Amino acid sequence: MKRVFLIVLDSVGIGEMPDAAAFGDEGSNTLKAASTSQYFSMPNMRKLGLFNIDGVEIGAKEEYPTGAFARMTEQSMGKDTTIGHWEIAGIISESPLPTYPKGFPKGIIEEFSRKTGRGVLCNKPYSGTEVIKDYGEQHMKTGDLIVYTSADSVFQVAAHEDVVPVEKLYEYCQIARDMLVGKNGVGRVIARPFEGKPGAFVRTVRRHDFSLVPPKVTMLDQIKDAGYEVLGVGKIFDIFAGKSITDYVRTTGNLDGIDKTLDYMDRDFEGLCFVNLVDYDMLYGHRNDVEGYAKALTYFDERLPEILGKMREEDILMITADHGCDPSTPSTDHSREYTPLVMYGKNIPAGGNFGTRRTFSDIGATILEYFGIKKKISGETLLKF
């Protein structure tokens, strides 16, 4: 029974790509920045070969790695979560998804307001925690929706749960998703519910992402069509708009994501379990919190033996990332970085260094190769099984 567990450590980049300056990310190195903290410790990932990857400049290299490893290059023209995951799954995006550094055009906002029957506040790029601090009280008085964006391709709608029930907020976000297609096809529409009183607003865990449907065939499509299961943990269902995912669980953070991955490891299935652990990006990278980022990496490393301990004879574990988000730079945006790939399993050659790969899609191609599925996606397999 073949199973692949693909874990994305969201935003754990390992150094600037050659075109980083064109994205405003010259000098970014997320992993190196986190390693400067006294709280950083990843001995288990080191043993698998993380520190042996091309260009990784932290810690001592493992003399006899138990896993195989590679440095992954993003070929798509972007640095966001959606494009990164899509490329892992075999889609190379030649154009970036649209962003709105000056806010959304008047026509979009007016149409959204008309269709929801509510006014709109803000309509600017904004920090998610700051926007509810600055507009939350006005929202509670008027019932107007807080609409904002970021450097990512996102249309975010914040509302207090006592003013707009969560299910109604989801309806409004689906309206926005149906509107935002074509040239205005943002990667994600995000529902951002919050609670509390003025001066003490907090976002709740009932966030929900409404993503574009992938425009081409993905690794997930091919695995499902071949009769295997595709399980999603965390944001995976949202990132792929549910397409070709046979079962899924959402998560409240890394701890919950790891726990639910371990639950799936106890389940008898054949196919792919695709996992996103979001805290690195959401809680620490975007908030320039080096110590929090380091603690989150250390926590994953501490839980890694549990994951390895549940692996079965034919299981393969792959650990990678979707972009960078260096917490030590002035920017709070994602960063254009190489990402790591560490692989482990009986069928994986210990110590195998697969160098610097041309595209994230080599991950998807390798997984299809393992299941004996002739690929219809971009990328080349790292291994013949």
On whether residue 375 sits in a domain, the answer given is no
Q: Is 276 exposed, middle or buried (0-12, 13-18, 19+ CB in 10 A)?
A: buried
Q: Which residues contact 78 (CB under 8 A, 6 or more apart)?
A: 84, 93, 96, 97, 153
What is the average pLDDT score of the chain?
97
253 phi, psi to nearest 5 deg: 160, -175
On whether residue 381 sits in a domain, the answer given is no
Q: Distance between CA 146 and CA 159 in Å, rounded?
A: 6
Q: Could you give the number of structural domains in the chain?
A: 2
On whether residue 18 sits in a domain, the answer given is yes
* pLDDT in the model for residue 286: 92
On whether residue 58 sits in a domain, the answer given is yes
Residues 179 and 121 in one domain: yes
Residues 299 and 255 in one domain: yes
Tell me: pLDDT of 79 over 90.
yes
Q: Which of 157, 187, 211 is the last residue of a domain?
A: 211
Tell me: pLDDT of 217 over 90.
yes
Token code pair at residue 306? 């549990």
* pLDDT in the model for residue 96: 87
Residues 180 and 227 in one domain: no
On whether residue 305 sits in a domain, the answer given is yes
- pLDDT tens per residue, range 224-241: 999 999 999 999 999 999
Residues 116 and 92 in one domain: no
Give the residue among 322, 341, 293, 327 at the shortest CA–CA distance from 81. Answer: 322
- pLDDT tens per residue, range 287-299: 999 999 999 999 9
* pLDDT in the model for residue 351: 97
Local structure of residue 46 (DSSP, 8 states): H
On whether residue 378 sits in a domain, the answer given is no
Residue 318's CATH number: 3.40.720.10
- pLDDT tens per residue, range 169-205: 999 999 999 999 999 999 999 999 999 999 999 999 8
Residues 324 and 312 in one domain: yes
On whether residue 101 sits in a domain, the answer given is no
Residue indicated by tokens 């399980």 = 231
Q: Which of 157, 177, 211 is the last residue of a domain?
A: 211
Task: Give the confidence band of 135 by pLDDT, cuts at 50, 70, 90.
Answer: very high
Residues 223 and 204 in one domain: no
Dihedral angle sign, alpha carbons of residues 60, 61, 67, 71 = positive
Tell me: pLDDT of 89 over 90.
yes
Residues 347 and 200 in one domain: no
Residues 272 and 297 in one domain: yes
Residues 64 and 155 in one domain: no
Residues 115 and 205 in one domain: yes
Residue 191's CATH number: 3.30.70.1250
Q: Which of 170, 185, 211 is the last residue of a domain?
A: 211
On whether residue 379 sits in a domain, the answer given is no
Q: Which residues contact 98 (CB under 8 A, 6 or more apart)?
A: 153, 183, 184, 185, 186
For the chain, report the end-to-end CA distance as a whole number of angstroms: 14
* pLDDT in the model for residue 152: 84
* pLDDT in the model for residue 151: 81
Q: Distance between CA 154 and CA 124 in Å, rounded?
A: 11
Task: Give the confidence band of 270 by pLDDT, cuts at 50, 70, 90.
Answer: very high
Q: Which domain holds residue 126?
A: 106-211
Beta bridge partners of 125: 149
Crossing angle between the packed helical segments 81-88 and 361-370, to the nearest 10 degrees: 40
Tell me: pLDDT of 244 over 90.
yes
Q: Is 202 exposed, middle or buried (0-12, 13-18, 19+ CB in 10 A)?
A: exposed
Residues 248 and 295 in one domain: yes
Segment 55-68 mean pLDDT: 96
Tell me: pLDDT of 164 over 90.
yes
Residues 118 and 262 in one domain: no
